[in-house]
Amino acid sequence: MSASNVLILCWLGLAALSTLTVVLGSAGSTLRIAAGVLAVALVKAWLISDGFMELRHAPPAWRLLLLGWPLAMASGILLALLG
């Protein structure tokens, strides 16, 4: 698969996930929906780092750092919503 095809697929995935975020956001205000929105955000962060930034070829430490931050933020938000 060529690099331009990968980028197009990443873009389509991000567009679909953004639409899903809007649909979830307009569905109501529960902890389960908030967790869903945060899960979609984590998938989007993974698509951006591995797809657009091409970190799928980078050392594992860089990938862990770039995906660890959104995971830490989503965990913090969920903990704040629980408390």
**Count of structural domains, the chain:** 1
Q: Global pTM?
A: 0.87
pLDDT at residue 19 above 90? yes
pLDDT at residue 29 above 90? no
Per the structure, the complete domain to which residue 29 belongs is given by: 3-82
Average pLDDT, integer, range 38-53? 93
Whether 20 and 42 have beta carbons less than 8 Å apart is answered as no
- State the pLDDT at residue 69: 94
- State the pLDDT at residue 49: 92
Q: Per residue in 66-80, pLDDT tens?
A: 999 999 999 999 999
With DSSP H G I counted as helix, E B as strand and the rest as coil, what are the percentages for the chain, rounded to 5? 85, 0, 15
pLDDT at residue 4 above 90? no
